[in-house]
Structure 1
């Protein structure tokens, strides 16, 4: 055998040895589920409904911290509103026991005030009159200073949802929850409007105006004109209004019945910045998590930003601070871009959500923590599912966008174990209700058998 032929065979053998691990990696079988969960793995993998889309599951025993079952738990999913748990965690670490309602400076004949992002002033569901009474009763002249704040919509939000109650604009000093409420009775040409300021901006929809989504009210995209469509039934609707500093001043003056003058925020060396405290934080956490209120979650991040710097409301700064200081122990870094989960740019793994749930359980007394969440058969987004007349056994946070439905939280088994879980479904084409029922079937079996 010639030297060159021998050399070529040696080189070919070395190449095959190097390539072998690559081929072996491609043919590696899927990971075997942990002992004791083979039945669960089979239940999920053989589901006619679940096998048509991307599914990620993580179950962990809260007491021991040991994983019980994992399927694609290290893969990234679109989390939707389960991201509100990250906003909650930010609030727990950055806010005191009561919400910051506004910042202010008192000068000899004037009171300069600006927003913290507190969403509760005249909010329709968790209204607070603290800031309102404070401003009404001050003897000084009132000067409102706008502060740098995040843009009205978060990155990756769906622009054409501007008309719907679940996507109000973010802002530094919200009033009325940045929405208009309409109360209609059958046969009446126009509904009752709250706040009444928007009554003159509400009119019957022209016959030629399209209503392809079958809305009760449609706002013009770039202005506060509201068109009402006829209906033979009573109805209630909530539509976001387009916010601005001039509109805020009009609404404040209309409500306070006294002048409010715009001003620039220039702090002097002798100024002492004070903070007016509002509602207890639990009132916001409870509402935000139980019914999955996007507006409250977004404003929560702005309030956290105000605690870092009173003259700038940047949710990105909050996210960076949380990731650097409080979320370093998570197994996979979340891609976190907003407070509510409206953005499809958010990405989280199931095991990271479970790790966050374990952190929450370790830092918050269990009765308080479970009270914030939706409860199966009792309250919030889980009121009609996971029922048991003896009491709730599942507490969680839902997350739904078109073709995505997720649930994470805590599950009490019949043997008494408390499990932290994340069950994520992305890119499904089945109806959300169908996916939800299948998840309930699976989690009910977990309750029965673990």
Structure 2
């Protein structure tokens, strides 16, 4: 394909991915043709069009869009770089000569100018120039394709769905689409949009060390950066090692070699413990932590966490200061005064990168941090209740349909959260709206079917590279919300929610949701 040629000068692993996708498309197409022919001969051409959701036949109609998504966007889920975009995606944008990337010309946190992310092109494939169809899919035809799949017992007692045309924002299909259901991790789409609209893509979270005058007390002040790391390899995250080195150098300039060490977590308020209690999916919610309080070298997924992430981070900071010749006391909690002089600072990657990382890896710690930061930015109390209020308020300001929604946390771990399929699809459409480029990371961070994040092992025999979606899973709850390019090259947003799936094998429900998304991608439906 001609559009792939520039990538050979950009990143070898992008080329390998493209080369790997081509034979899969060819084999699937060859294997599918006889089945379609048999259905057609039986006088069922419409069934032949949509009845093979576990195949790749739909890619013939959207091969250009699908392969562009697969090879241009999907690459590796990292490393996360300082521009707020995956390195491979940035290189592809450069190779294609497209403008992109966030505007870092303004001060951190300032509204400034914002442009779509480099990934916006392939993510928004279907909005213009690709589709040869002027109209969106027909609602009745969509219902004929999707209604039977929504009746699958694997979807439990309360399945609901919404499909909209991203170009126009018009709803094409709905089944219980206005009903508020437990969304699980698809809540993170709402958290992403609220945080981006409140703070902007360039906003960074700063951790600092400050010296109280005349006391030789050094206070490590948490700025709410959940990606702060004490590891040697930072992958673009703010480094506690860098902060310690800068602090030690500033103290040495003052002739200070021994200090009292304290730490400040007053940026947040309320209970640090999530309502689910101690759980490997989330550390205590505090503005100061290193490596998300993980007790091993993992960077995502559930794992045992340290009991007090803030105290742990301060202790590690003290050990690093000692390695630079600064003697410290055992750290204790405190609050930096307004007279404290900043010795050194480190800042997180831009908010655009944090949002992408949160969505791709379904990172609960980042999600709760961004919810609290949204509360801070909008003047709400920075606790669970205030964060939920801030998210709802920001979505209302964006003109989104929040009726029936309830936000109890930022991650979706709280079963009291409620979102509607209509709200989820409206969020995705708003993120694609050219008048809201600041929301674009809510799309570019979505996992890609068969390749990245929480969809890496799904769609292996279905819509790989064509579906981009956020998953949501709790006991008895399974959700899927994202975008896809249909058979005619039209960009659609969808949300499928299944509550009441207790007693059903989780993989069975996930496969049922995947079949619906694959059928939607396969269905021109006109």
The TM-score normalised by the length of structure 2 is 0.61
> 2:386 is matched with which residue?
317
Counterpart Cα distance in 1 of 2:384 and 2:302: 29
Work out whether residues 279 and 304 of structure 2, in 8 Å CA contact, stay in contact via their aligned partners in 1. Answer: yes
Q: CA deviation at 1:246?
A: 4.5
Work out whether residues 166 and 492 of structure 2, in 8 Å CA contact, stay in contact via their aligned partners in 1. Answer: yes
> 2:514 is matched with which residue?
440
Alignment of 1:359-378 (within 5 A): 359-362=430-433, 363-364=436-437, 369-378=442-451
The answer to whether the aligner puts 1:152 opposite 2:242 as a matched pair is no
Match of 1:170 among 261, 285, 293: 285
Counterpart Cα distance in 2 of 1:330 and 1:365: 16
Change (3 A) 1:53 1:134: same
> 1:114 is matched with which residue?
221
Q: CA deviation at 1:168?
A: 2.0
Match of 1:253 among 318, 322, 331: 318
> 2:459 is matched with which residue?
386
- Deviation string 1:230-283 (CA, Å, 9 cap, x unpaired) is xxxxxx993111016544432321233242654642634898999753223333
User: Secondary structure at the residue paired with 1:149?
Assistant: coil
> 1:296 is matched with which residue?
366
Counterpart Cα distance in 1 of 2:302 and 2:179: 39
Counterpart Cα distance in 2 of 1:347 and 1:132: 40
Work out whether residues 120 and 126 of structure 1, in 8 Å CA contact, stay in contact via their aligned partners in 2. Answer: no
Q: CA RMSD in A?
A: 3.4
The answer to whether the aligner puts 1:282 opposite 2:352 as a matched pair is yes
Q: CA deviation at 1:119?
A: 1.2
Counting helix residues as a fraction of each chain, which structure ranks higher?
2
Change (3 A) 1:349 1:274: farther
Counterpart Cα distance in 1 of 2:421 and 2:288: 35
Counterpart Cα distance in 2 of 1:427 and 1:437: 16
Change (3 A) 1:248 1:442: closer
> Of the two, which has the highest radius of gyration?
1
Change (3 A) 1:368 1:433: same
Counterpart Cα distance in 2 of 1:123 and 1:249: 11
> 1:36 is matched with which residue?
141
The answer to whether the aligner puts 1:347 opposite 2:418 as a matched pair is yes
Q: CA deviation at 1:373?
A: 1.1
Counterpart Cα distance in 2 of 1:171 and 1:284: 17
Work out whether residues 120 and 127 of structure 1, in 8 Å CA contact, stay in contact via their aligned partners in 2. Answer: no
Q: CA deviation at 1:113?
A: 4.1
Work out whether residues 150 and 170 of structure 1, in 8 Å CA contact, stay in contact via their aligned partners in 2. Answer: no
Return 359-368 or 419-428, whichever deviates more. 359-368
Q: Matched residue pairs, number?
A: 360
> 1:133 is matched with which residue?
242
Alignment of 1:218-229 (within 5 A): none
> 1:431 is matched with which residue?
505
Q: CA deviation at 1:131?
A: 4.5
Work out whether residues 282 and 364 of structure 2, in 8 Å CA contact, stay in contact via their aligned partners in 1. Answer: yes
Change (3 A) 1:393 1:321: same
Q: CA deviation at 1:135?
A: 3.4
Match of 1:357 among 405, 408, 428: 428
Structure 2 runs not aligned, ≥5 long: 1-137, 252-258
The answer to whether the aligner puts 1:47 opposite 2:118 as a matched pair is no
User: Secondary structure at the residue paired with 2:141?
Assistant: coil
Change (3 A) 1:263 1:167: closer
Q: CA deviation at 1:98?
A: 4.5
Work out whether residues 243 and 344 of structure 2, in 8 Å CA contact, stay in contact via their aligned partners in 1. Answer: no
> 1:396 is matched with which residue?
469
Work out whether residues 172 and 313 of structure 1, in 8 Å CA contact, stay in contact via their aligned partners in 2. Answer: no
> 1:16 is matched with which residue?
none
Change (3 A) 1:103 1:408: same
Q: CA deviation at 1:414?
A: 1.3
Counterpart Cα distance in 1 of 2:471 and 2:463: 23
Counterpart Cα distance in 1 of 2:509 and 2:464: 24
Change (3 A) 1:120 1:285: same
Change (3 A) 1:273 1:252: closer
Change (3 A) 1:390 1:382: closer
Counterpart Cα distance in 2 of 1:390 and 1:421: 14
Counting strand residues as a fraction of each chain, which structure ranks higher?
1
Alignment of 1:11-90 (within 5 A): 34-50=139-155, 52-90=156-194
